[in-house]
Amino acid sequence: MFSFSASHVLNGLPEGHQCGRFHGHNYVIIVELRSDLLDGTSFVLDYGKLDPIKNWIADTLEHRHLNEIVPGQPSAENIAKWIFHTWKGQYPKLHAIEIKETDKTTARYEYDNR
């Protein structure tokens, strides 16, 4: 689980919609790995090997305006999809990315390439 704080504006919403105004969130990202087999230490993957994702989040997303970073609409759903596809090539066991904007709002992107 990783976190970052950032701002965004969602475009194309009805007039007066709260998400259409400039605002920010303290995001939580859950990286879900999946495997039928565990390694010799009974891990799917040692969490320390996820440090490149943690560092990328800090360098790319932390205290940024997501409209300037995320391709397309910076909705939680699109952010999850973007992060997933950014890292899937490096982490073949990556199964899903979940983004929490608040305790009540969560988006999850998982891709089944079977």
Catalytic residue at 62?
A: no
pLDDT of residue 3: 97
Looking at residue 71, its pLDDT comes to 96
Reduce the DSSP state of residue 97 to 3 states and report it: strand
Catalytic residue, chosen from 17, 23, 62, 63, is: 63
Q: What is the pLDDT of residue 16?
A: 87
From the list 17, 19, 23, 77, the catalytic residue is 19
Statement: the pTM of the whole predicted model exceeds 0.85: yes
Distances (CA, A) of 5 to 60, 86, 89: 11, 19, 26
Catalytic residue list contains 101: yes
Query: Dmax over Cα atoms in the chain, in whole Å?
Result: 56
Architecture label for domain 2-110: 2-Layer Sandwich (3.30)
> Is 63 assigned a catalytic role?
yes
113 pLDDT tier (thresholds 50, 70, 90): low
**Cβ neighbours of 83 (radius 10 Å):** 24
